[in-house]
A and B are shown apart, each in its own frame.
Chain A
Amino acid sequence: MSARALFAHPRAGGAALLCALMLAACGGDDDGQTGASAPEDSRAASPTVLHWTLPEYVAPDDWAWNLPDYFPPPRVPADNPMRAEKVALGRWLFYDKRLSGNGTQACATCHEQRRAFSDGRARALGSTGVVHPRGAMALVNVAWNATYTWANSALPSLERQIPNPIFGTEPVELGVSDDAVAVVLERLRADSRYPAMFAAAFGTEQISWQRIMQAIASFERTLVSVNSRYDHYLQGKATLTDAELNGLRVFHEAQCDTCHGGPNFTDQFISADTREIRVRYHNVGLYNLDGQGAYPADSEGVFEITANLADIGAFRAPTLRNIEVSAPYMHDGSLATLEEVVDLFAEGGWHILEGPLAGDGRASPLKSRLVRARALSAQERADLVAFLKTLTDPAFLTDPSLSDPFQEGAR
């Protein structure tokens, strides 16, 4: 039954050791087994793990990323190199409401700088008034993400992701429909600023959707946050309080850093230096509707993409940088505060006592093995929250180069 009982018997002990070795051979330092990048049998009993081997990459020296030495530069697609004029154009487009079909929303409507480019809502609200199943994600160091959105193994770059909010209909975000697709381009052409900006960014005045999306991607790559108090602490320029240091200790000891590790506090991190990565998604036991780990049908995690039943409720571990300002939390905004989030991980899941979402997430069979009761005291939980708040980067949240250029123009 237990490992101890097995080890009491010499032969059984050998079997247990063999099992342990096999696990190690699978690279089982985390939940799930290692799989091919496109599994032959996507309905395997283990969560999907994408095993990517990336080509060698030398970061071009044409862009100054201004990163600390522990934060290597990102990979930038060869067909969309960084360029100051393109970033400048992308900033205008990111804040331009004319980019939505009915002219009511810009990217920035759901991605506000002061909230680390999230919107403070539990669930995002699209341009046509549709409430989304998930919340708008914070946009922090997105240039380094392995995959995009809350849980989508089909979207490995910003350029591949951006058509989602622009053209998507399930749900409608910016709502650029058949009727709007040419109209939006006409609106931009009619603004005397844009032709010159497109020419500066791309060489000619042509305004196309591809250029719009490339420019926005370039701007989004400049949403770089590496100046938190924690960064200054790492660099010897600041000290942390005893509570924060204790929170940091708890963060490591409770293995938070297995999924929220590395320079960007996420396991989905690809830099110029990355040659190999196992891309994982994690079920943290937020829901367990049926005792089998079911999540609400409107948002079932990366299962929606992989169709692997073991991926139900599995989402990308987002960066924790600036997490203080991007409440509410989790994919559906169901946890209002960082204290609640820490409680979830300290208890090994979330127990909902009543209502349509009732269920004991702590007992979910789909939950990551790493999410388990941690016996953290109230003080340790409070200190963990204190540590997380050292990851807030006020300069990022107020950086004028990332702010709304339309407001700037009005001043």
Chain B
Amino acid sequence: MKTFPQISALSLCLCAALALSACGGGDGDDPQPASNGWRVEEGQPVTLRFAARAGNAPVACGGEAVVNGVAVEPADMRFYISGVRLLRADGTSVPLQLSGNNRWQYAAGENSVSLIDLRQPAGACALTSQNHPELSGTAPAGEYVGVEMVLGVPLAVNHLDAADDVNTPEVLRSSVHPAMSWNWRGGRKFTNIELRPTDGSAVSTLLHLGSTGCNADPAKGDYPITDCGAPNRVPLRFASFNPMQQQIVLDVQALFDGQDMRAENRCMSAARDQSCIAPFSALGLDFHAEDGSGNGRSVDGAEQRALRVEQVAQ
């Protein structure tokens, strides 16, 4: 059995945080942590904002962005974020507690999950698009320096019966977010990111990231899938991040770097799909199109390049 990448990554991160505080923190008796530290008061909500970019340019439905030299527009721009934790300068972390369950989020400790929707009701996007570019929660009062989270839906809730309108959290229901349904693979799409050329050509570049290699076992009752060959969850760590001044951007140029945007690149996380090579590389996931042997876990030492921190214009 492989070591869980989260653990090794976490310890890497811990080291980085320690190193940062060792380098940055020590002028005089100033109690401030790292330079990017920020304070949360008791009960004060912490909001993480997200945005879509192509390089540094904004990406919006009905608008135009250039990716790999081709003018494109989004047809979808959604993804699930789970397990958000706030990082302290000493390397410890606390979970961001979401408040309540609704169509955008499910609050359940380690299995908390939020849907980030970066669409607008325009262009090739659904006219019922409801832009929801943020998630919000609370944390113990204190000083924090960064955040970590996972791009994807936790295993424990990814394979719930998405048709169950009573027991399954709204944010994971197919009847609430049909386009995030990934029924044929037995779980949810972690991302539904789709770009089309603005010249009207009938091709698209899309990324349906999600767990693959999931076999059911009805003996397990209401939750027939308990393991997947390739989980394809992406740990995201921003060791220096201040949510009051910064946001997290998904850079579709970095995600689809090098792909011919005038061709069909419909990556549905299939083990040998050539069109998955670029996005899986950008996400730092083990993927081998040549023989399908990718294990869908973070490559040791590889950093994802598709999401980054950006200063919010004041």
Contact = CB atoms under 8 A, between A and B. Distances in A.
A163 B162 contact: yes
B215 A163 contact: no
Nearest to B168: A210
Contacts of A307: 212-213, 229-230, 270-271, 292
A306 B213 contact: yes
A211 B166 CA distance: 11
A170 B268 contact: yes
Interface of A: 37-40, 42-43, 48, 50, 52-55, 147, 149, 152-157, 159-164, 166-170, 176-182, 208-211, 213, 270, 304-309
A296 to B, nearest CB: 13
Interface stretch (B64-72, B126-134, B244-252): B126-134
B293 interface: yes
B174 to A, nearest CB: 5
A40 B227 CA distance: 9
A156 B183 contact: no
B174 A167 contact: yes
Given A153-B216, A154-B184, A168-B183, A163 B163 contact: yes
B285 to A, nearest CB: 14
Given A149-B184, A179-B126, A208 B213 contact: no
Contacts of B230: 307
B215 A167 contact: no
B181 interface: yes
A210 B183 contact: no
Contacts of B219: 37, 52-55
Contacts of B300: none
Contacts of A162: 163
B215 A48 contact: yes
B122 interface: no
Interface in B98-151: 126-129
Contacts of A178: 126, 128-129, 177-179
Nearest to A182: B128
B266 interface: yes
A341 B166 CA distance: 45
A158 B181 CA distance: 16
B123 to A, nearest CB: 13
Contacts of B127: 179
15 contacts: A38-B226, A50-B217, A52-B219, A55-B219, A154-B214, A154-B225, A160-B183, A166-B174, A167-B181, A170-B184, A178-B179, A182-B128, A209-B163, A210-B163, A307-B229
